[in-house]
Amino acid sequence: MIELNVNGQQHTVEAEPDELLVWVLREKIGLTSTKFGCGIEMCGACNVLIDGVVTRSCSTKLSEVSNKLIVTREKVSEDHLLNSNNGC
């Protein structure tokens, strides 16, 4: 079992330390905005923020992100919508 802090919530997932973050986010946590694109860190479809740094989740192992803050597009979109001025 591995503990992850994703979008401000703690998640306990059953996964191996060498499993790629992109698949854990999509298949075990259900956050599907993070996509698998090229798999070679070129396209950015798998981008997440890890401790505020843009990181390619297609090449990031779970062992590299324990005790770190992971932010996906779901949270970025939510924050943008909540903080935007929609002319109201």
The tens place of each residue's pLDDT in the chain, 88 residues long, gives 899 999 999 999 999 999 999 999 999 999 999 999 998 888 999 999 999 999 999 999 999 998 899 999 988 766 654 444 444 4
Q: What is the pLDDT of residue 39?
A: 87
Tokens at 54, concatenated: 């843009």
Q: How many helices (H) and strands (E) does the chain have?
A: 2, 5
Which alpha helices (DSSP H) does the chain contain, by range?
Answer: 21-23, 73-83
Q: For the full predicted model, state whether its pTM sits above 0.85.
A: no
Q: Give pLDDT, residue 18.
A: 96
In the chain, the largest separation of any two C-alpha atoms, in whole Å, equals 47
